Every structure is written in structure tokens, then in C-alpha cells.
Amino acid sequence: QALIAALLAATADAVAQRLLGARRLALRRCALMSLYGMLWYGPSNHIWQRLLVRIFRSFQPGLLQHVQVVAQRVALDQLTYAPVNNTLMITYVALVADRLGWAAARAKVRAELPAVQLRGWRFWPCIQAVNQFLVPLRFRVLCNSAAAVCWTAFVITRARS
């Protein structure tokens, strides 16, 4: 799953580069974003999805109980993991891909995170609800990684603009 996350992170960066008007693909940037996917996003999401299932188990059968459990998982995900992940993504892009210093990266997080997070709350709850409701646990990271191609391209273009 880490390798798939790496491939999809590189794909997201390539899409972002094209959206920003790059004529040539910056392979170094793609490789650096691939590392982010492989070292952080894939493994952390794998652990996180399993943790959500352990925290919120559906002990009673029935659709209503399952919907309640899914809502709890999505709420916890969006209030904890999402802000951490967005903060790390903006910081990583600033420090590693854009080669800014700590002060500039911190300023970029302060400037970008509120808007990125608010937009994320329009995008990710639907993805996560479908993921938690319909997708088997072993495929949830893949589902998130696929959706993250769009999201990562957005965050990168936002951070670079």
C-alpha cells in the first residue's frame, strides 16, 4: 500500500505541475512527493483506517447502527487526522519540494491551512463516508489514495500559487 501511495502521490504532483503550466515535468519534485506518499501517507493511513475500526466497532447489526458508526469515524477522521495530514503536506511541500526554510514553511502553513482545511471539509467527508460505508477495510487506503490524487494536486497548486 505504501508503494501505491507513492505512485499516486507522484501522479498528483505531475497533475499539479501541469495545472500550474509547467512545460517539462520536474521529475525531482515527483520523486519527492512519491517519498511523501510512501513514507507518510500510505503507512499512516493504513494504521489510521485500522484504528478507526478498532475505536468504532459496529456491535449491533442494522443499517442505522452502521450509519452511526460511519458518522463517528468520519467525524474523528476530519477533526484529527485531516488537519494533521494537511499541515504535514503543506510543510513538506514548502521544505522539501520548494526548498523554503522553516520560517517560510511555518508562514505558509499559517497562511494556507485554514483555506485548505475548509475546502477539505467539502471534499473528504463524502469520500470518507463512502469509504467507511462501502469499501472493505483492506481497500480503504487504496480508495483514499486514489481520491488523494485530486486532493494533493489541489493542495500543491494552492501552495505554489
pLDDT at 31: 93
Q: In which domain, by residue range, is 74 found? A: 2-160
Number of domain units in the chain = 1
Average pLDDT over residues 86-112: 93
pLDDT of 133 higher than 60 = yes
| CB-count exposure of residue 7 (10 Å: 0-12, 13-18, 19+) | middle
34-75 pLDDT, tens digit each: 999 999 999 999 999 999 999 998 766 788 888 999 999 999
Helix axis angle, 2-19 to 42-55, nearest 10°: 120
pTM of the model: 0.85
Could you tell me the pLDDT band of residue 99, with boundaries at 50, 70 and 90? very high
Ramachandran assignment for 32, one of left (phi > 0), alpha (psi -120 to 50 degrees), beta (any other): alpha
pLDDT at 154: 76
Per cent of the chain over pLDDT 70 is 94
Nearest Cα neighbor of 93 from 144, 140, 151, 147 is 151
Q: Compute the mean pLDDT over every residue in the chain, rounded to the nearest whole number.
A: 90
Quick one: CA dihedral 57, 60, 66, 67, positive or negative?
Answer: negative
- For 151, the grid coordinates are 486532493
Helix axis angle, 140-160 to 102-134, nearest 10°: 150
